[in-house]
Structure formats: C-alpha cells, structure tokens
Structure 1
C-alpha cells in the first residue's frame, strides 16, 4: 500500500459519512489525486493526526527540561496543505523510502536543544529527516542525544466520558484468568498495530533509543513503553483485535491491532484547553465539494507521572 494511503487509512468502524444517491465520478477528473482523498473522513483523519502530534510537541516544549522534534514522515510532512502533504509522500515513495518505519517524534534534554537544532539545520530542516539515512553522521548525532522516541496514536473520544473508564480490571476466562475487561467494554486504550511491532522493535534495538507509544484523546492522553507492550502481548494479557481499514483509494484491508488497557500505561497529559472544531472544505475542478472537520488549537499539560519517566530516562 502506498505510504500516503497507509497513514490516512481509517477503521471502517470510524467512518461517519456515506454519500448515497450520487452517480460515480471518474477520479481522473479531480484536481487532487482522488485515489487518496475520497471523502470527509480521510481529510478529518489527516487534520486529527496533525492536531494530536502538535499538542504533544507543544506540551513537551513548554517544559523547562525537554523538547521534541518531528522525526517520522507523518510528523515532518506539511501540516497545513493536504495537497502538499500528498506530494511529500509521493516524493518519499519515489526515493524508495516509503516502507521505512520510524517513530513519529524524538525527545531530548532542553540543554541539548541548540546542538540538535544545528544538526537538523545541517540536514536541511526537519522536513528532510525522513529522506536521510540514519547512518549519516548528523543523523547519528541527533539519535545519540535522544532520550526517548514516540509513536503517536489518537482517538476521537473524550476518554473520561467512555462508559468503562474507571472500571477495575477483573480475571477473564478468555484471558485464562488474567486481568482484563469484557470484549464489549468501551474505555480508553493505547493502540499498537501488529504490523508496526517488529519494525519499531528493530528500530529501537538498532538505535538504542527506547520507544514509547503516546495515545491522545480529546481530553487526556496515555503512554506505555514498547518494551512493556511486547511483554503484555507475549504473555497473553492482551489479545489481537482484527479490524477492517479503508484507504483513501477505497481499498480495504484487515489488520490486527492490540488495544492495551490504559491501566497498563501511565497518564501522559490532560487537556487544559479543548480544540475548536472548524468547518473546512476542498473543491475539485468540477465544483465537487468535500467538507471536513478541522482541529484547531487546544493545549495539553504533561502529567507528573510522564515527567518522572522522562527524567528517569534522561538520567539513565
């Protein structure tokens, strides 16, 4: 699957809108490449992903101890122009780098900020990082100072309002007596895709930088280390869930993912200002309008538990 389609794939369960009663339109007639932008859900997914990663970077950078930079392709790509976003991934694919998996963010000690910014500048700026091999001396300089790498996930839910938020884990028959909740429970989880487990583990082993998964909800966020994630899965505490994903081009694929109960992670942050949901749209050359919801603003403050983990990693 093309990397652009992969990053914007949406779970079938999350698709909100279906347009009926409209005759088919040839995708070649669209100004934007339509195999990628079929409708509002994918545009909203793009906006939602940009928003959640920006909230994390801002929260980290507001501390006096740490700062974050975008590192993976979805984080370094243009964030204010969907066409530029598309072309960025076309360039990545043309360079033969579309299949490379890297964490979304890198976090450093604040005292290293000037040195890191100089190394990033030497490489042509943050947008060029995915196009550089990690054996490059400047890339090695960046990675040698990273205290943690972050894989970002997000969900369009208010975690505190989910029905089973706050419910204690209990022994479950399907988990052979291990703690868990019923399969139908609705609560905050930290999502890790099966297809990402091995590439992320390989990256962590090669670069000796610990990876954590940070999952942002509308009102709060949770984190968990990749090491703990792997142990929970391998020991049978979390079973895979199969979901059908639809890419912007229309293709559907079944993927296994793991929904880790937030109980196993740590509180990452709380929203102290909610974002605004702004109506936006794009229009093709035939006048066909695709409306979508754009996420704007909002701030998050890191929890003491998250800062404690960052300090431990920085001093380790």
Structure 2
C-alpha cells in the first residue's frame, strides 16, 4: 500500500467531530494588521526552520534539506501582502500546505534549483517534489521543555498536597456539619477523592454562609476546588497541529505521496512525530486527555488546535545552543511603529538514531 493510501485509510477512522475530511476547509480571512508579537513569533518560527535545515545539512552525508514552505517577509498591512496571501490560499486548495523543509537523497538534489525553492511556482516543481523522501513542518515553542516539566511536576505535587489537606480537614473537623441531611451528600464525594482520583474529581462548591463554621467549611471547599482545577490543567508541552492544517497537509500528501512529519523546536530540545502517528493518536478516543487534548488556541484567533504530548514523538535533538537575539524597529504605513525580536545562530545537536528512525533511513545510508 502506498504512503498516501495508508494515510487515506487513517482519515476514515478519525472522528468527524474532530476533523471532517469530507468537508472543504474553512476559508481564511485576510489579516488586516500585524502585531509586534505576531512578527516575533514569525521570526522565531523562521529561526527554528533554519535551525533544522542547517542541522541536517551539516550532519548528513547522503541527504540534503531544502527550504520549501511558502513564506514571505511581507506582513499584514504592507503593500503586496493581500496578493501574497490570496495566492497562498489558492495554493492550499490546489496542492495543499507545503511543509517547511523537504529532504532529498543527494543524487536527487537539483543543484540548479538550489537549497530554497519556497518562491518557485508549485506547477513547475511538481515532479521534483515527488522525489523527496520526507516533508517536515517545523513548529517552534518559546519554552525550555526540561524546565517546564520540572516546574509542572512540582506544581502538581504542591496542589495535590493542598487538596488532600483540605479534604482531610473537612472530614476531620467539620464532619458534624456534613452529617446534616441537607449536606451529607458531600461525604461520599470527599471520601472518593484520593491522590489517584484528583485528576478527574469534580463537585459544585456550596454557598453556605449562615454561621461562622459554615463559612469556614465553605472556604475549605473553595480551596479544594481550586487545587483540583490546577491539578487538572494540561501539564505537558505539545506538538500542535491546527485542525484546519490537518486537512491541507492531507491534501499535500494526496498530491505528492511524500511522508510528512512535524518537528517541534523548543529552546533546549527538538521532538518529532509523523503525520501518520498524529492521525493514529487522534483516531483513538481513549488517548484524549492523556496523550492529546483539543483546545481553542487563544494565541491563534481561537482556532481549534490538537495538542499532542511532545514526548509521544521522538527526541530529534538532545540539546540546543540558544540563538542570539536583538530588537528590531519596523515602520509601517501611516508612521505606525512595531518593535519585535529577531533570532540568529544557535545549534541543534541531532540524535541521529532517532532522526533516522522517524524518517525511515538505514544507518549506513544517512
């Protein structure tokens, strides 16, 4: 079975409530104005893409990475951006979403086209793109994943202790109040709360105010509820394919039959996952809220985003030397000024075995 047919079969078992492949993608509105934060995020994404591009080309003897993803230095509000954006939308409907990087065997690399084909019209390079062994979508995250995980473990343990202390205090010091017929329904709820069940526990905080002790009891319930909410928040950093992107990635695979991957670049490590594994994960409802969650991304116009635990993938780079960064002043039309951050340099130290494994390359070939 071809790679495309394998992916096609997987799309049939992804719940339509999550991604409905039978429906056309939603048409995007042209952004009207860029922000400093948007440009900084774009600069960070460009840096992450270049980091992976350089790491592969500096490490492999037999494979070459080239830049392929549609990009431009124009931002919303500048002359020419509307035309660029409209052409980009038309390309999405024609061939799907270009991954940022393509990997070619050295013998298939076209020297005349060079290391950057991102600005070449898709219809002139169709057959060349089909020779690629992989397409990589590079995502960036402004976190140190090791520091984040350590902080989350400490936070979870802290709120676990606070929750169990509040539960014990209620049951030990206020049981007489809870034994009242109106309030006794809370006793089995509290007794069911353990270290193991805190991640799923829930209850309505009462509103008792008619005596000093009832007020104290009510405050303890509030503390318990607050701690449980903190424990139940997502505690992992994620690889984040937007639902709308899954459709256009599938369209690209349909067009070129080239394996597709997501690489998530943090400032200390890089993790990668195949598009095939992404579909396998989201097709399994038992993995929701364990390996992945579905959220409205407030940083991206509340677009529905699938957030997959990064460590469900492979560790592509075990260390990163952080880039240099500097502030840039950009003058827009009507004298509007934007200040943003650019990133330069940095090195990704690849985990060669994991990179080969995810791309399906034999050790002697790389």
TM-score (norm 2): 0.61
Question: 1:86 & 1:51 partners in 2: Cα distance?
Answer: 24
Q: Aligned ranges for residues 272-291 of structure 1 at < 5 Å? A: 272-284=320-332, 287-291=335-339
Instruction: Report the equivalent of 2:65.
Output: 68
Decide whether the 8 Å contact of 2:101 with 2:135 is kept in 1: yes
Instruction: Report the equivalent of 2:157.
Output: none
Could you give the per-residue CA deviations for residues 263-292 of structure 1, whole angstroms, max 9, x where no partner exists?
210001144421012111112465543211
Instruction: Report the equivalent of 2:133.
Output: 147
Q: Aligned ranges for residues 199-210 of structure 1 at < 5 Å? A: 199-210=248-259
Question: 1:58 & 1:84 partners in 2: Cα distance?
Answer: 31
Instruction: Report the equivalent of 1:128.
Output: 119
Which of 259, 283, 296 is the matching residue for 1:242?
296
Which of 115, 130, 146 is the matching residue for 1:160?
146
Could you give the per-residue CA deviations for residues 146-194 of structure 1, whole angstroms, max 9, x where no partner exists?
1111111111111111035896xxx9977xxxxxxx6424333111111
Quick check: 1:117 aligned with 2:111? yes
Decide whether the 8 Å contact of 2:271 with 2:311 is kept in 1: no
Could you give the per-residue CA deviations for residues 92-120 of structure 1, whole angstroms, max 9, x where no partner exists?
5258436542222111123433xx233x3
RMSD: 3.4
Question: 2:354 & 2:76 partners in 1: Cα distance?
Answer: 35
User: Which segments of 5 or more consecutive residues in structure 1 lack a partner in the other structure?
Assistant: 6-34, 175-181, 247-252
Instruction: Report the equivalent of 1:292.
Output: 340
Instruction: Report the equivalent of 2:83.
Output: 90
Q: Choose 1 or 2 for highest CA Rg.
A: 2
Decide whether the 8 Å contact of 1:268 with 1:302 is kept in 2: yes
Pick closer, same or farther for the CA change 1:268–1:216 going to 2, 3 Å.
same
Decide whether the 8 Å contact of 1:273 with 1:299 is kept in 2: yes
Question: 2:98 & 2:259 partners in 1: Cα distance?
Answer: 12
Pick closer, same or farther for the CA change 1:127–1:259 going to 2, 3 Å.
closer
Question: 1:211 & 1:292 partners in 2: Cα distance?
Answer: 31
Decide whether the 8 Å contact of 1:164 with 1:185 is kept in 2: no
Pick closer, same or farther for the CA change 1:215–1:86 going to 2, 3 Å.
farther
Structure with greater proportional strand content: 1
Question: 1:260 & 1:92 partners in 2: Cα distance?
Answer: 28
Decide whether the 8 Å contact of 1:266 with 1:305 is kept in 2: no
Decide whether the 8 Å contact of 2:267 with 2:320 is kept in 1: no
Q: Aligned ranges for residues 2-151 of structure 1 at < 5 Å? A: 5=31, 35-37=32-34, 39-63=35-59, 64-74=61-71, 77-78=72-73, 87=80, 90-91=83-84, 93-94=86-87, 96-97=90-91, 99=93, 100-113=96-109, 116-118=110-112, 120=113, 126-129=117-120, 131-133=121-123, 136=124, 138-144=125-131, 146-151=132-137
Alpha-carbon shift at residue 230 of structure 1 (Å): 0.5
Pick closer, same or farther for the CA change 1:106–1:223 going to 2, 3 Å.
same
Q: How many residues align?
A: 257
Q: Aligned ranges for residues 161-310 of structure 1 at < 5 Å? A: 161-164=147-150, 183-236=232-285, 237=287, 238-245=292-299, 253-284=301-332, 287-309=335-357
User: Which segments of 5 or more consecutive residues in structure 2 lack a partner in the other structure?
Assistant: 1-26, 154-195, 201-230
